[in-house]
Amino acid sequence: MSLNRSPSAALAADCFIRPQRTMANAILNLMAGIAGVLFGVVGRMLIAERGDVPLFSGCLTFVMIAMLAATAVYLAAVRENRFVDEVKRQNERLGLIDEKTDTARKTPVRLTPAERRSLLLILGSVLFIYMGYNGFHTHYTNYLVTHLKMSASWTGPYLLEVGVGMLMMIPGAFITSKLGRKKSSLVGMAACVIGYLGASTVTSAHPERLYIWFLIAAMGFPLFAINLGPMVLELGRDSDSGRYMGYYYAAVTGAQIVTPTLASLFINACGYWVIGLYGAACTAVALLCMLPVRHGDVKLSFLRAFEDSTAVDD
């Protein structure tokens, strides 16, 4: 999965100039949301028709077919070198060539101490935000069954979360164009903290209240999901996009490795209700990591040049 994921995300960076990357990432996340909905629907059908036991093998087959189909489309339709050449022409036309966008430059560009500190803080924010997200969603089915006394097939709140998250991806990119990447990420993290805290208060007497808290979290999630990757990429050269996306996904993967076991320790001590509190605590730490960040927003000169060019083309 790592061999697939980092190069795929880096390809999106290679194909778009820097001012477009938040919107490009929003569309990338929108596609992931559609996949999540399809996966949720297929999982519900498998549970309804076959019971819980064959669920894993059925879902695994679905994932295998989907990845093979995606690979076939990529091989047939994507011409990476053509897209990279187009980005180079756009940068030249807009006057956006500098030491980081000049892909022909061979001499290394080192991060300044401030940039390196911002990179580590952004990656720390990525680590903790996905520790909270994955910690909550890894144990979500058991939370439904054990704590809320609901069936594992009750996918309504999950589908609401994914659906609203999908609908907010493109608006989230427009919000970012006004607030900037850092401020948008902070707003989104704050909303997720509220959503996770609210989920920790839901009981089996009123499980429908989960819809409210999932709605709040779903509206916040896209605001940082579409920005953290581009913030990491902004610090590196365009020719190093694969390496910097590797840093990003190393933080994501690290969260996925650590958080299921760590969350389980709290579950064993307190019960499944605590996963909401766990998610909120991790997300709050991610928010604190983001506050001192001083680099990673798209340069205003880039953004203005791109907007002026778009207005002229129109």
Structure tokens of 239? 């020719």
Residue of 248, 193, 226, 200 whose CA lies nearest to 33 = 226
> For the chain, how long is the longest CA-to-CA vector?
64
Domain-by-domain residue ranges, the chain? Answer: 2-313
Q: In Å, how far from its chain's centre is CA 21?
A: 13
CATH, domain range 2-313? 1.20.1250.20
Q: In Å, how far from its chain's centre is CA 300?
A: 24
pTM (two decimals)? 0.84
Residue pLDDT tens, the chain, 314 long: 767 777 777 787 788 888 888 998 999 888 887 877 777 677 667 666 655 555 666 677 777 888 899 889 988 988 888 888 888 888 888 777 777 777 666 666 789 999 999 999 999 999 999 999 999 989 988 899 899 988 877 878 877 887 898 899 999 999 998 899 999 999 999 999 999 999 999 998 999 999 999 999 999 999 999 999 999 999 988 888 888 988 999 999 999 999 999 999 999 999 999 999 999 999 999 999 999 999 998 765 555 555 555 554 54
CA distance 137 to 217: 12
